[in-house]
Each structure stands twice: as structure tokens, then as C-alpha cells.
């Protein structure tokens, strides 16, 4: 039977081909610097909006990779509250949302602080505040006390994709990992972010939440690589787009004898694509900040502000009176009055497509 990477004598001495990763690493570093430079030139409000949008995306997508869909408004409001940002239409967030937001912000805001067992346990407890994950009880805030297999398929016909180190070895493995994590890097900090992600997933130290914590660790080391807590791109969003390849590369490299070149190549390329797509996100953020700057004197009610924010963030589907009423929790008559008022103020316009139902869109003028 094939062995896993941790069962070879050289574990955890990873090897890789520098030549294979140096070109893409250089591209990543160049793009990181460019984006940080662009963001540094922005005004305070623009920067605040960019950070809020990026962190919201990161939290939503990291959970979505695990099949958990969080409420966008709750995540955005929770992050804004914790960062001391105020905007119209903020909502109350439930404990699950608060927990993952606390973990992600702790990783990126306190990126310089050492990572120890207690801090990791705090993150894990924040992810599972009730001690349950769906229908399963979780040892919240402590390492797992059982064997761990990654399986798929129906009961009785499960396929084992991975068997993690036994529970008796977890403490020893994690002590070694944490020592390495906290020492001055002997490799580029971005490469270290890739190694940390892989190494943590291999140990799989918790009952649940390993993927989300691995991605938080990557974000933490990427913040160190930039020496900044300000996040302007979302690696988790890109990983979700490439989810199939993410799992297939992990599965392939987990059975190597210690050469992780293929994982590093994929991680760096994924990060490069995440940085690239940020250009589009920033364009939208700048447009949004510009819009609110233009309308800072315009009289608008809380419903209108909330709906305009949704449209500016990239609204899914068509905007109709019925949809406005449902989202803004008001009557169709009130929704129509809100919309007509915005048309009068030349903020919204009727879509030209016509048809039986009337759709509305932002006036690009």
C-alpha cells in the first residue's frame, strides 16, 4: 500500500525545485508590490471600503469551500463592527458568523504575534461556538482525540482519500509545526505561506475546521510577507474557483516522498490569479466610493442606501419592485416609491429591454 508523506523518514523535511517556482514567485511578488502601491495612493474611505469588501469575500468563500454558505450582510456587518467602520443598513450577526470573522481578523490583524497552541485553540473554539458541526459533536478548542480519515461516498461504500497521522502523534507534530511557523523564515515568506497550508492539512489536527484554519494561516503569513494587516485580495475566493484542482493537487502531493514542487507551483499560480482578479474588485470598490462621494449630499433613506450598496457590490439577477420589497422588507408600494424617487434623482433608470415586468439598473451617467 502507498505511503503518505508523513510516513517517510525525511518527514517533515520538504524539498522542491527552485527553478520550477522562481518565475511565478517573482511574478507574485511584483504584483503584490503593485497592488499595495495602488492602495497606498488611495484616500482613507476608498481604502476602508476595499479592505471591508476583501475581508467579506475571504470569509464567505473560505466557508463556501467547505460547503457552508454564510449570510453576506451578516459577515460584512460583523467585520465592519470589529474594524470600527460604520455604514447604513448594518445587521445583527449570528454566533457562527462572529466566530469565523474573529478568527480571520485575529490572523490578519495580529499577523506579527507568535502562533501558539492557545491561540489556535481559540480560533477553533470560535469556529464551533456550540461544540457542534452540523449533526456532529466536535472537540471544540482542542486537538482531535480520534483517528482522522478524509472520506467521500455513501455509507458502506466510502472511499478513503486520506488517513491523517494518529491522534497520539498530533501534539508532537503540532509542536514541531508551531516551532517552524514562528521561527525567522529561511525561505521567502510567500513560499512559507504555501508550505504552512500544506503541512497543517497533512497533520489535520482538529475534528473539523482544518481547511478554514489552514487558509487563515496562509493569510497570516501573506500579511507577514507584505508587513501589512490590510488585505486587498482574497486567496480563498480563488481557491473556491479552483476547488477541484486544489483537492486533486493536495491528494497527489500527500503521497509524495517529500517533494512538494507541484503543490508550491499550484499555490503560487493560484495566488497570482487571486492578485490579478483583485484589479477588477478594486475597480468596483473605487466606483462605489466615487458614487457615494458624488451623492454625499443626496437625501436617501436607509432602504435606498442598503439597496444601492447591493447594486454597487454586483447584484445577482434583475432588480424588480418585488425583489426590492423582499430584500428591504417593505411593501411593494413602498419599494416602488423608493425606486421612483431614485429615478427622479437620476440614480436609477428603467432597463431598456422592456418585457412584461419592469427591471431597473444603476444610471451610469
37-66 pLDDT, tens digit each: 888 877 787 788 889 989 999 999 999 999
**Rounded to whole angstroms, how far apart are CA atoms 46 and 52?**
10
Pair 115, 209 in one domain: yes
Looking up residue 132, the CATH number of its domain turns out to be 1.10.3290.10
Pair 268, 152 in one domain: yes
Pair 211, 262 in one domain: yes
Looking up residue 335, the CATH number of its domain turns out to be 1.10.10.10
The mean-pLDDT minimum among 20-24, 220-224, 337-341, 360-364 falls in 360-364
Pair 147, 12 in one domain: yes
> In the listed set 237, 260, 288, which residue is the last one of a domain according to the structure?
288
**Mean per-residue pLDDT for 12-25?**
97
What angle is formed at CA 157 by the lines to CA 151 and CA 161, rounded to 5 degrees? Answer: 25
> Residues 6 or more apart from 147 whose CB is under 8 A from it?
163, 164, 166, 167
**Mean per-residue pLDDT for 338-359?**
84
Share of the chain above pLDDT 70, in %: 98
Pair 284, 306 in one domain: no
Q: What cell does 85 get?
A: 467602520
**Rounded to whole angstroms, how far apart are CA atoms 275 and 273?**
5
pLDDT digits (tens, 9 = 90+) for 172-193: 999 999 999 999 989 999 999 9
Pair 195, 336 in one domain: no
Question: E strands, the chain, where?
Answer: 132-133, 136-137, 149-152, 159-163, 348-350, 360-362
Pair 271, 192 in one domain: yes
- How does the average pLDDT of the chain come out, rounded? 92
Output the pLDDT for position 355.
59
Residue 279, pLDDT above cutoff 90: no
**Rounded to whole angstroms, how far apart are CA atoms 162 and 155?**
17
Q: Give the pTM.
A: 0.82
Pair 206, 341 in one domain: no
Looking only at the bridges linking them, the beta strands covering 136-137 and 149-152 are unpaired
**320 domain-assigned:** yes
**168 domain-assigned:** yes
**295 domain-assigned:** no
Q: Determine the structural domain holding residue 336 and report its residue range.
A: 302-362
pLDDT digits (tens, 9 = 90+) for 232-247: 899 999 999 999 999 9
pLDDT digits (tens, 9 = 90+) for 91-143: 999 999 999 999 999 999 999 999 999 999 999 999 999 888 888 888 899 99
DSSP state of 319: B
**Rounded to whole angstroms, how far apart are CA atoms 164 and 158?**
16
Across 134-138, 269-273, 360-364, which has the greatest mean pLDDT? 269-273
Contacts 24+ apart (CB under 8 A), 249-253: 250/198, 250/201, 251/161, 251/162, 253/5, 253/198
Pair 109, 18 in one domain: yes
Pair 201, 344 in one domain: no
Q: How far is CA 223 from CA 5, 67, 220, 288, 306, in A?
A: 28, 26, 5, 25, 31
Pair 145, 270 in one domain: yes
**293 domain-assigned:** no
Amino acid at each position: 500500500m502507498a505511503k503518505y508523506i508523513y510516513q517517510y523518514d525525511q518527514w517533515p523535511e520538504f524539498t522542491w525545485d527552485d527553478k520550477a517556482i522562481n518565475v511565478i514567485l517573482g511574478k507574485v511578488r511584483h504584483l503584490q508590490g503593485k497592488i499595495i502601491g495602488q492602495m497606498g495612493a488611495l484616500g482613507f474611505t476608498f481604502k476602508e471600503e476595499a479592505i471591508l469588501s476583501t475581508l467579506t469575500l475571504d470569509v464567505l468563500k473560505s466557508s463556501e469551500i467547505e460547503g457552508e454558505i454564510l449570510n453576506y450582510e451578516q459577515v460584512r456587518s460583523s467585520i465592519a463592527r470589529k474594524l470600527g467602520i460604520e455604514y447604513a443598513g448594518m445587521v445583527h450577526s449570528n454566533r457562527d458568523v462572529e466566530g469565523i470573522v474573529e478568527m480571520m481578523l485575529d490572523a490578519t490583524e495580529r499577523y506579527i504575534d507568535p502562533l501558539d497552541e492557545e491561540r489556535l485553540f481559540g480560533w477553533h473554539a470560535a469556529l464551533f461556538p456550540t461544540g457542534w458541526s452540523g449533526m456532529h459533536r466536535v472537540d471544540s478548542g482542542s486537538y482531535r482525540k480520534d483517528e482522522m480519515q478524509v472520506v467521500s461516498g455513501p455509507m458502506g461504500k466510502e472511499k478513503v482519500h486520506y488517513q491523517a497521522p494518529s491522534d497520539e502523534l498530533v501534539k508532537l507534530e503540532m509542536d514541531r509545526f508551531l516551532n517552524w511557523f514562528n521561527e525567522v523564515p529561511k525561505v521567502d515568506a510567500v513560499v512559507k505561506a504555501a508550505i504552512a497550508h500544506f503541512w497543517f492539512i497533512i497533520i489535520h489536527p482538529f475534528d473539523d475546521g482544518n481547511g478554514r484554519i489552514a487558509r487563515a494561516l496562509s493569510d497570516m503569513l501573506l500579511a507577514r510577507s507584505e508587513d501589512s494587516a490590510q488585505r486587498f485580495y482574497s486567496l480563498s475566493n480563488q481557491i473556491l474557483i479552483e476547488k477541484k484542482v486544489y483537492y486533486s493537487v493536495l491528494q497527489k502531493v500527500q503521497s509524495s516522498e517529500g517533494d512538494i514542487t507541484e503543490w508550491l507551483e499550484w499555490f503560487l499560480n493560484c495566488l497570482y490569479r487571486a492578485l490579478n482578479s483583485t484589479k477588477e474588485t478594486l475597480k468596483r470598490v473605487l466606483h462605489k466610493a466615487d458614487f457615494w462621494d458624488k451623492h454625499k449630499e443626496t437625501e436617501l433613506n436607509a432602504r435606498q442606501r442598503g439597496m444601492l450598496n447591493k447594486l454597487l457590490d454586483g447584484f445577482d439577477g434583475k432588480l424588480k419592485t418585488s425583489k426590492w420589497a423582499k430584500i428591504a422588507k417593505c411593501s411593494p408600494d413602498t419599494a416602488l416609491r423608493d425606486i421612483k424617487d431614485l429615478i427622479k434623482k437620476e440614480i436609477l433608470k428603467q432597463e431598456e429591454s422592456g418585457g412584461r415586468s419592469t427591471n431597473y439598473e444603476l444610471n451610469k451617467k
